[in-house]
Amino acid sequence: MIQFENNIEFARQLDEQDELKNFRDKFYFPTFHEKIVRYFTGNSLGLQPKSVASYIQQELEDWQKYGVEGHFMAKRPWFAYHENLTEKVAKIVGAKPIEVVVTHSLTTNLHLLMVSFYRPQGKRTKILCEAKAFPSDQYALESQIKFYGLNLADHLVEVGPRAGEQLIREEDILSKIEELGDELALVMIGGVNYYTGQLFDMATITKAGHSVGAIVGFDLAHAAGNINLQLHEWGLDFAAWCSYKYLNSSPGGVSGMFVHERHANKPELPRFAGWWGHDKSSRFMMEPGFKPMQGAEGWQLSNAPVLGMAAHLASVEIFDEAGMDRIGKKRDLMTAFLEFVIDEISERNKDRVSFELITPRDKTKRGAQLSIMAKGQGKALFDALSSEGVVADWREPNVIRVAPAPLYNSFEDCYWFGQLLEKAIQ
Ligand SMILES: *Cc1c(COP(=O)(O)O)cnc(C)c1O
């Protein structure tokens, strides 16, 4: 374990030793604040890879040149564009290629997956989720329950932190699963909580859900490209994520879907269908009678939005080059360094402000995000930070979320965050 020091020489030394240091230069940094921007919101919208423009340009040119024939004549033919992404994305999330498809957007995919995997029947009708889930997930779960004419209060079971605590104890999730038993239809949780940054043990929760006969799915919006996922091995039934947070693939960019191999060859699974999920070999016969493709591809509805996918392809090639192993190592070291810096600034200024880090301090229970609860100063402190060029994220009532992204943030960024935080306090 390295003994950290909160000074610029030490931060620069860590940057010098960083195997991924050259990746920073593959990204554009915003210039909208007057000072040098210290960007810590890769958990909300990742920065633009410089290579994105040429990937999109390629498709614009092929569209100019070929019109509709681009579906087959483009350099990367559009009819199969999503296939360029499958293997690389599968690697990022620890899945087999047949288990992954890139398509639609995140909330849409959650619904499509729940149509297949939330099938309330007889006693087994309840959904378990975490309290304070991301609002889109809350609305999706609520509307799924109401869609079946069921009553929300009885069917959505939330597990929250105990009184006076910020984090959810996994044992409380497991005992709730046990307690619900054969009334539990679905467990649907955010793999990393967007607010606290808490990472859940997906393998253990999945096992517990399966042991009572429930289906288990995760929303990985804050986990994909951040956590070293092993979705196949962990055995989740399904998952979905967006590509614009840690995966840096353009605002509102395409989403990824995971459906475990055990469901790959079940054409009888009910689902909402569209032509892109239909058996590829007979898709263009345009005949009635839906025959789903095997694997996750069988959940596609529509042909690929190629421009958004081009941005995603540029980005996943960077991930492929860096590798999730190295990204994970840097994530843990850099997050720990930022934690150390914040602790030191907080200790030094404890007569003025009180900070509580609500993200787990155990690095196996978090990714690249620290959520700081600022008691007493809150929004004014955040505004002062912003005016110094720090791009972080404010969540009511008093939480500042900071995410050092391993691909483009530096240890020096973390050092400066501390300096500017101290200036803002004073
Ligand atoms: C970011 C995020 C979303 C956003 O959903 P979109 O459909 O992409 O707008 C949904 N759920 C979670 C948990 C998120 O973090």
Minimum-distance ligand 1 atom for the alpha carbon of 245 = 1
pLDDT at 113: 98
**What element of type H or E holds 80?**
none
Run of H or E including 211: helix 202-211
Q: Which segments in the chain show pLDDT lower than 50?
A: none
Cα separation, 344 vs 337, whole angstroms: 11
For residue 132 the two structure tokens come to 């304070």
Question: Which of 222, 264, 244, 223 minimizes the C-alpha distance to 101?
Answer: 264
The Å distance, Cα 106 to ligand 1 centre, comes to 6
**Neighbouring C-alpha atoms within 13 Å toward the C-beta of 305:** 14
| Structure confidence at residue 278 (pLDDT) | 95
Give the distance, in angstroms, between the CA of residue 426 and the centroid of all CA atoms in the same chain.
Answer: 35
Confidence (pLDDT) at 411: 98
Nearest Cα to Cα of residue 307 among 48, 83, 82, 93: 82
Measured between alpha carbons, how far is residue 32 from residues 36, 37, 386 in Å?
A: 9, 8, 11
pLDDT at 195: 96
C-alpha span between 49 and 42 (Å, rounded): 12
Q: How confident is the model at residue 32, as a pLDDT?
A: 76
54 dihedral zone (left: phi>0; alpha: psi -120 to 50; beta)? alpha
For residue 289, the CA-to-ligand 1 centroid distance in Å is 33
Give the integer Cα–Cα distance in Å for 98 and 260: 9
Q: Strand pairing of 354-357 and 370-375?
A: antiparallel
- Most ligand 1 atoms within 8 A of CB, residue of 242, 246, 254 to mutate: 242
Nearest-angstrom CA–CA distance, 310 and 298: 22
The two three-digit tokens of residue 231, written as one number: 């979705």
Q: Which helix (H) or strand (E) holds 158?
A: strand 156-159
Residues with CB under 6 A from ligand 1: 105-107, 134, 136-137, 190, 194, 219, 221-222, 242
- pLDDT recorded at residue 155: 98
Domains recognised in the chain with CATH numbers: 8-49+323-424 (3.90.1150.10), 81-321 (3.40.640.10)
